[in-house]
Every structure is written in structure tokens, then in C-alpha cells.
Structure 1
Amino acid sequence: MGSLVQILLALLISVLGALYLLGSFRRRRAGEPPLDKGPIPWLGHVLEFRKDTAKFLQRMKEKHGDIFTVQLGGFYFTFITDPLSFGSVVKEARAKLDFSKFAEQLVARVFGYSSMESEHKVLQATSTKHLMGDGLVVMTQAMMSNLQNLMLHSIGSGNEKTWQEAGLFSYSYNIVFRAGYLALFGNESVKGTESSEKAKQIDREESEELFGEFRKYDQLFPNLAYGVLGPGEKMEAERLKKLFWNTLSVQKMRSKENISGWVHEQQQLRADKGMHEFMQDRFMFLLLWASQGNTGPAAFWLLLYLMKHPEAMTAVKKEVEKILQENGQEAKPNGPLIDLTRDMLLKTPVLDSAVEETLRLTAAPVLTRAVLQDMSISMSNGQDYKIREGDRVAIFPYIAVHVDPEVHPDPFTFKYDRFLNPDGSKKTDFYKGGKKLKYYTMPWGAGTTMCPGRFFAVNELKQFVFLMLSYFDFDLKNPNEEIPDIDIRRWGFGSMQPTRDIQFRYRLKF
């Protein structure tokens, strides 16, 4: 999960190639970062950036060093790739470096949603209220209830010991998306059905259908963002948008139960400000996409890494069993379902490290700021670089720090305990050039665009893994099958997705 503004900012650079294919070329002034011209500056960079963002930026870093400027479409982007210098961007006042205005413009172009005044402040305030602290207690319970409905409804049916096969990505994304959707947007009303069991069945069926449509939109999204959809794809994208606007409409929300305070308050604030209902409906789709487009893929990678690394699986299982035992809970036949609380999920350092390691390897957001006035960027080596008003400043943490071997030795290998100290406490000491880093991973962004929903997202992942380990036997159909590559078309979109699915089998333990 990511905050709406942060995720849309991550998309900005990808979209610029399609939105701004014309722009003037300028000369570098004294004191500015190296400017990569290229044979055809705007077109050459756009095509290479779009083909493989990470490879392009790594090449620029090797050619120009830790700070450089490239022209992408009609804008000049200064990339900072030294993690010791990230504070110059993250901590800078919004009077100089801002993100809201062009993010709002992007929302309008891609989603047809017109942002209201102080959009980011409202989103930040409601997210802090409902997705952190005491609000997270309520959301964790809602997520638990819906995960149980989707994953454990067949207990007692007589078929629970039968092995089932599925694609791990499809299964993980399906379950986490649907449970998150129901936890946020509400459940079928018991009053309108024959019983609570019937209402739960409707939740399962309708959320399954919705996920199928969401995946269609999700698969179109890279080309939608780049603006290169074919005629048929454009029609399909418009059909899907209208479907979600209708499904998530304010009118239909009124018949739901257990709508989260986060969603309800977002809608109510917009209604109070006089926003038309059709525009509120569009915002609801934005919320669904922003909240559920990343956690499911992350759950896939986490389960896959655990299955591919038996020592990691053993360590996490041991911790899960310990937490349940300490809280007097046990997954057993005919027994009460386990109930994971927010407080229980705060006591899982091994699982926390495995989650952070998974995100280090597979989360690739882009942090972008608009330069509102001429200013200087101070680098950790003491050099200052002039940045022009109207340009952009960007950080791509994946190549800058996530896979830097100096910061994280053997960076492409999954090490479940990479973020654990020998005494089992959380490790936060990572170094670059002999200096301790503040920003050693940045899957959630940083500063004012740091994802306010990150605690809920991590809880979603951990609850899913808890239930899988507690109630299911599961393994890879082919244990020797290699881990799929990352789909490079989705650089900058948050949690990366695999180029192919990988088959696994699972069954209830009892």
C-alpha cells in the first residue's frame, strides 16, 4: 500500500515520456550537475528510460557520478544517487521542492479525477488517524476477519485435506487484494441477506469477480501510464474505469456494513466540500488502486522467498508458533480461529526482517519533487549544485541504496535476517563510505511523501503469512524452479511484479 500522492509521484516520470514529447534543449550553466545530452536528448532518453529504468539510471550514474541531469520529455530531471545526500531532497521545504501540483495534474489526466484544495493534507490526516495507532487496531481486526472468510471458510467441509494447485502470484494477490478491499470498503449487509453466512458468501463471490476486473486494469496500467494503449485497449480501460466507478460509488457504499473510517471520512470530507458524487466515485477507485495495487505482489514475493530459503521458513514458523503460544492461541481442528491483534504483530522481529528484505529486493518507487525556485543541492562530499526553477529532482532508491553492495553485501540474495542484530533486535546500522546511513531502504518513500498506510500494509502481509503458516501445508510444485525475473515495465510503480507466475500447492492442515 502507498499513499495516493506518493504512488502517483512514482508514476510521474514514466508518464512524462508520453505526455511531453516536445521540449527545448538547454546548455548547462556553471555549478549545475552534469547534463547528459545524448544524440537525441529528449527522445533517446525517453525510450531508454521507458525500456529499463534501472539500467538507464545505472548507466548515467557510472557515466556522470552521484548527481546528473537528464532530459525526459519536456522536463529536466536531476537524479541524486548518493544515499548520504538524500536529506537535501527529503528535508527541503515545500516552498522550494514540492510534489502536489503536478501530481494533481497527473491524477486528472490518468484517472479523470479533479483534486480538491489541500488534497495531500486531507489524505495525510485521515490516513494518520485511521491507519496508524489506535485506528490500526480497528483495521487489523477488519483485515483478520476478511482474511479468515476468504481463506478458511471451507474448514469442516470434508475437502480440507485435498491438495490444490495454483499460481502463487495469482493466489497471493487474489487473497490479499480481496481481504484489503473488504476491510476498507465494507461488507455485504446482513440485513439484506438471509444470514451472516450468506453475507460472507456474497463477499467472497463479489470480491472474486472484482479482483478479476482489477487484474485486467492492472495489466493495462503500464501502457496506460505511458499513453501507448491501442484502440481496443483504450476501450477496455474506459470500460474498467466505469465499472469501478459504479461498483465503488457513494450510492452503493450506503448499503454496505463495516466501511472503514479511512474510506468513510475521505468520502464525507469531499461531500462536505461540495464535490459532485460522480467525482467522489472516481476518487474511490483511486483509493482502491492506491491501497491494493502493491500489497498483493509483495505477499507473493515474501511467500516465495520463504519457500526458496528453508532456514528462513523455519525461523519465521518458529516465531509464529511462539507468538500464538504466548497468547494462548492455537490453530486446531474444531477450535476457535486464531485472532491476530495489532499488539501481537508488534512482536515479530524475524518476520519484520523478512518483510523488509523482501521490500528491499522488490519495491522500486521513484521519489520526485518539482523545483519551485532556483536553489542549490548540497551533496555529502561538500559540493553544491545549482538546480533551476521548473526542473525536477528525483531519487530512485532501488539502484541508489537497495542493491548497493557497499550498503547491503551480496545485494541480490535474500537474507531473512539482514535487518536483525545478533541479539534479535532490529538492525538499523548500515554504512556508505564509512558513514552511517539514515536512508538504508526506502520502499515507502521518505519525508512528506512517506506512505502513511505503511503500517496497515505491513500488517496485511504479516496476517496473511501468519494464517498460511498456521492453517496450511504448502510448497512449490517444482522446488528447483528459478525465481522469476522482475517485470521491468513496472519500474517506478511501487511493488514490482514477476514476469511469470510460479506454481505451488496448498491444503488445510486439518
Structure 2
Amino acid sequence: MVPQHDHDLNQQVLDDVMDQVHQSMGSALTDRYLHPDVNAGAGGLQSYLGSPGALFAFGLFILLLVTRVVSSQRLVPKGVKDEGVQKPPAVPYWLPLIGHVPNMAYDADGFLKRLRTQFQSGVYSLNFVGGRHNIVYDPGLATALLNQKQHVANSEEVSRRLLGVIFGFPKKELHKYDDALPELMTCYKHLLSEPSLGDLVSQTSRQLQRSIADLVTGNESLVDQLPWEKTSNVNNVKNKFGKLVVEASLLPLIRDYAAHTANPSLIGSDFLNNYPDFLDDLWVFDRGFVLLATGLPRWVPLPTLTRAHIARKRMLDKLDIFHRAMKKHANGEDAGTDWSSLDDVGSLVKARMEVYRKHDMSIRARSSFELSLLWAGNANSDTLIFWMVNRIYADKALLEMIREEIAPYVTVVQPASDLPIAEPPRLERFHLDRLCNDCPLLKSAYVECLRLDAAPWSFKVIKEDLILQGRQKSSERWLLRKGDYAHIAHDLHSTDPKFFDDPTVWRADRHIKYDDDEKRRVADMGSIRPYGGGSSMCKGRTFAFKQSIMFTAAIVSMWDIEPAGGGPWNMPRHRKSTGVYNTNDDTRVWVKRRELSKPE
């Protein structure tokens, strides 16, 4: 049985308040305030204070003080224990109703990390507008929470709400979403299992091999530039050796190249060919993601929110056209010349089309689902590749070690040619499975970027009283009440000095270890859980891993990148995002093809 403890704070809290007020203001003053002489004529509080403003200030002081004292009662969970079970310690606050919202708005990262230092138990609770939000960062407790059944700790309610307020799913069709959800979840087998996963990876790998030589083209005319060049403000300059290089902004270059290369495997080649600017709106939308999650309307005077609303509208309109074409194609009708290659749409989207038709979902409902898929498939993985490229190229010794490690599995060749202008080099050999399984330094760098360049959280609504305990039987047992919220702050664990030496230092080989026979070096995730866990674990995690490895390996094999103008590599600063950090810094770089030995 879960212990039922409802603390009677009345007299105890009042006594505590009186003690603190006496200490703060002196007994004579408080006696006059709280025990005025009723026979004192014009006495009493207002006459003493002399003005209504002073009376208001004093009343406000008392209110804040009472709030602080009451909210401090569970700072140390004394008197809560019963059969080894206790409630998470509650962090005190000053403002009634609002609770810790100002702390999070001002400096969420610093606030949470200070609390991690204060509360060593791996869990504490905050108050947001009257709701109790339990912050879990111990890996054992996090795993236990992630593995709870949905009827105990629910994440689907959150997804259901966000589908509407963020991705524009029609409210009047939410019952269709509820009915279709089990079948929609089954569709994710196309991201998780063979043969669909292998086909998705192979198609992306082939497109990468065809296009990697055009990461930058040197074309100065916007008409001739590729979409990722247009967004990265490229121009041709000469380096200190007098050789022509292309200067570009690294984030949009890497992010947009990865997106334009990988997305046709999901949604087909026609979509981005018809709407190459779709991704521009996707990045604007992602920047306003958290504000959209609040449900605030477009007219609220927040520029980031307004731009996100406008970008969402444009994206949904384009996806509406795509789905009308898909509907015609499925019915054997001509979808038009702009949609002549719909057969190459990915198996996941095709499988979802069957579910949409079965449940008679509107075109807009379908579009909102596809918007959520495209956001999830791009917002984090494409930006993570940017951080991997940043980290690897910033350390020349590491860059050479990774090039040496991947060399047996990636071969870049310069085709022989008698023409005045040489053909671009190409990837002749590209063994992705060996890159993923036999390159521990590259994989460890990937894991280290997830540890330090990402700050994902998992969210649960507690539907039944729950006792949470870590892996060890001797570990503390924590009671989460029905109606509570639970947040798994993966980044608090990933930067915890109890688990990682020098946690703020990026170290490429941090996650390398030897396997059981001590003969083979391997790298794994260890205790970090960037993709969540349990039934809500990210469905695209395997593809995201292989995508990050393949793009990073291809780029470091074919391209030299250095800071524009030479000098040291300045690592861009993090900007909080929904998962992988973004940045406001414009990292300008010089990009040129590696010097390759010419064929004999």
C-alpha cells in the first residue's frame, strides 16, 4: 500500500511564521502589528503605518514570508517517511501560485544545476502555477520512471496536446487520433526494424555518396547555387596560400545539406524539389517551438511566436498540397507533373496513409502528422551533425585520428580525366555498417556530442500513486502522487560531476572501453539516455545514429574546413532548444576539397 500522509501544517506553520517575523522585525513591532490595543483610539495598523501604501507593503511582506515558510515545510522530507517511502524534497519559493516560474524564466539551466548540487538524492520537486513538478535526474530513477506503464506514468496525454497546439492538428478530430493511435504507433516499425530501416538507410547513404562532392560548389550566382549554399551565405575567397576556398556559415551549411539529402528517403524527392524553402520555415518554427507549446495565439506581441505561427501555416499549406497529390496517386489518378515521382515516398509515410484513409482523417490532420514527423526527423539530428563537425575539426589531432580510423571503410577517389576541368571526387567505397560498428572513436565522439551538446527532457503525467526506486534494493524510495508531473532531466545527469570527470569538457574518447575479452575497443551510451526510454523512446534513434555517423564520416573524408581567416577554432555558444542545442553564433569557415592523390 502507498502511505497516505496529509500534513496538518496549521499551528506549526503559524508558529514558524511568527518566529521568523519576530526575528526579522523585533518583538515590539510585531506585538503592535499583530496584537494592537483595541482601546488605543486611532491606533491599529493603519495609524501606525501612516498610509495605505505602507499597509499594503507590510501585507505583501507577510504574504511572501508565509509562502516561503509554507513551501519550506518539505525542503527536508521529515515526518514523511513510512516503510522507507518519502516524498521528493520540495524547493521553497516566495511567490504564491506562480512558484518557480520566475526562476526558470530567468536562468533555468543555472537554477536547475544549483538544485542538483543541493539535492544529492536524484529527485526534487518544483511548483509551477500550483502544479507539483518532480525533476528526476538520477539514472536509476530515470530508468524506473521511463519503464512505467502508460496507465501509471503517461506520456501520450502530452503528445496529444502538443499535436494540436504545436503542429496544428484539428481539435474536432482528436477522437480520430485516439482511435488511430495504436495503428500509427505500429507504423514506426518502418523506422525500427528491417527491411524498411535498411532501405531507408541505404537510400540516404546513396544520396549522400552522390551529393557529398557538392557540399560547396564555388558557384557565385544564386541561380546556380544549391539550396544549402543559398542559406549559408557562401562566397569565394583566397586563403593565405593563394588558393581558392569557399567561405560559408557552418550551421546552415551542414544542417541544410543533411536535411536536403536525408528527407527524400522519408517524404520522397518531389516534395523538397517543389518546396526547397520548406526547411527555412522549419527552422523558424523550431525556434518558436516552446512558445507554441504554451498555446499562446499569434497576436501575442512576441516576434518569435508570431514568426513560428506564420511558418507553421506555410508548411501546413504545402503539406496539404502534398497529401492531396498522395490521395490522387493512391486512387490511381494523375497527381500532376509536379508530383510525378510519388512512388519514392518512404514506407513510413505510405503506411500512415493507409491509417489516415481507414479513419477518414482530413487533409489538414494528415499534414499535421507529417509536420511532426519532419520536425522530429530534422530538428535534432541535423543540428547534431553540425556539432560533431565543429568538435572534430576544432581538434586537428582528433581529426587525423578519425580520418585514420575510418579510412579502411571510406575511400574517396579522384576520377581520371583528360578534360581541362577535373571531375569532382567521389566516394567509391562506403561501408556504413563497419563505420557504425568498428570505429569506436567516431562513435564515442557521437555519444559525447549527445552528452554535452544536447539537453533533452522526458515528460510524464502521474496517473496513479507511484513508488519510484533505483536499481539497488537499498536505494531510497520516492512517492510520486497521482496528479503530479514528472520530468526526466537527462542533461542534469549528463553534466553531473558524480558520473563524469570534468563534465563540461568535451572529450572524444570518453565513452571508449574494452569489451569482455579486453581485445576490442567499443563505445556505448553508458548511463545517458538522450532518446528517452520505455514505450516513449524516440522511434527514429537508430536511423539518427546511422545518419550522424554517415554524414560526419563523408564530410571529414572529403573536405578540409578551417575558421575563416585562419586562427583558432572558436566553439559556438549553446542556445537552449528542445533537444540538441542550437546557437546564435555565426561560425564562418573556409571549406575546400581535400588534396587527393591522382590515379596513375
**TM-score bin, normalised by smaller chain:** 0.7 to 0.9
Say if 2:387 and 2:449, in contact at 8 Å, map to a contact too. yes
| TM-fit CA distance, 1:482 | 2.7
Say if 1:132 and 1:453, in contact at 8 Å, map to a contact too. no
Q: Distance in 2 between matches of 1:418 and 1:339?
A: 29
Q: Which residue of 2 aligns with 1:498?
A: 583
Change (3 A) 1:96 1:313: same
Change (3 A) 1:412 1:133: farther
Aligned match for 1:357, one of 438, 448, 456: 448
The share of aligned pairs that are identical, in percent, is 20
Q: Distance in 2 between matches of 1:314 and 1:230?
A: 50
Matched, 1:146 2:207: yes
Q: Secondary structure at the match of 2:428?
A: coil
Q: Distance in 2 between matches of 1:320 and 1:236?
A: 42
Q: How does 1:86-235 map to 2 (within 5 A)?
A: 86-114=142-170, 115=174, 116-117=177-178, 121-148=182-209, 150-153=211-214, 162-188=244-270, 203=273, 206-207=275-276, 209-226=277-294, 230=301, 235=306
Q: Distance in 1 between matches of 2:539 and 2:575?
A: 26
Q: Is the deviation greater in 373-382 or in 283-292?
A: 373-382
Q: How does 1:262-341 map to 2 (within 5 A)?
A: 262-324=348-410, 329-333=411-415, 334=423, 337-338=427-428, 340=430
Amino acid at match of 1:469: V
Q: Secondary structure at the match of 1:188?
A: helix
**Deviation sequence 1:60-104 (CA, Å, 0-9, x none):** 233343221111234211122322333331222322111111321
Matched, 1:246 2:320: no
Say if 1:132 and 1:456, in contact at 8 Å, map to a contact too. no
| TM-fit CA distance, 1:166 | 1.0
Q: Distance in 2 between matches of 1:331 and 1:73?
A: 61
Q: Distance in 1 between matches of 2:216 and 2:127?
A: 57
Say if 1:308 and 1:479, in contact at 8 Å, map to a contact too. no
Structure of greater relative contact order (alpha carbons < 8 Å, 6+ residues apart): 1
| TM-fit CA distance, 1:272 | 1.6
Amino acid at match of 2:553: F
| TM-fit CA distance, 1:152 | 2.8
Change (3 A) 1:123 1:293: farther
Q: Distance in 1 between matches of 2:217 and 2:487?
A: 53
Q: Distance in 1 between matches of 2:401 and 2:441?
A: 7
| TM-fit CA distance, 1:319 | 1.9
Q: Secondary structure at the match of 1:111?
A: coil
Amino acid at match of 2:270: E
Matched, 1:382 2:437: no
Q: Which residue of 1 aligns with 2:495?
A: 403
Aligned match for 1:343, one of 427, 430, 433: 433
Say if 2:191 and 2:543, in contact at 8 Å, map to a contact too. no
The number of residues matched between the two structures is 455
Change (3 A) 1:420 1:439: closer
Q: Distance in 1 between matches of 2:508 and 2:318?
A: 40
Q: Secondary structure at the match of 1:248?
A: helix
Change (3 A) 1:368 1:156: closer
| TM-fit CA distance, 1:55 | 1.8
Please identify runs of 4+ aligned residues in structure 1 that moved more than 6 A: 154-161
Q: Which has the larger radius of gyration?
A: 2
Q: Distance in 2 between matches of 1:156 and 1:404?
A: 43
Amino acid at match of 2:291: N
Matched, 1:416 2:522: no
| TM-fit CA distance, 1:439 | 5.8
Q: What TM-score, normalized by structure 1, do the two folds share?
A: 0.81
Amino acid at match of 1:332: Q
Say if 2:513 and 2:522, in contact at 8 Å, map to a contact too. yes
Q: What TM-score, normalized by structure 2, do the two folds share?
A: 0.69
Q: Is the deviation greater in 246-255 or in 463-472?
A: 246-255
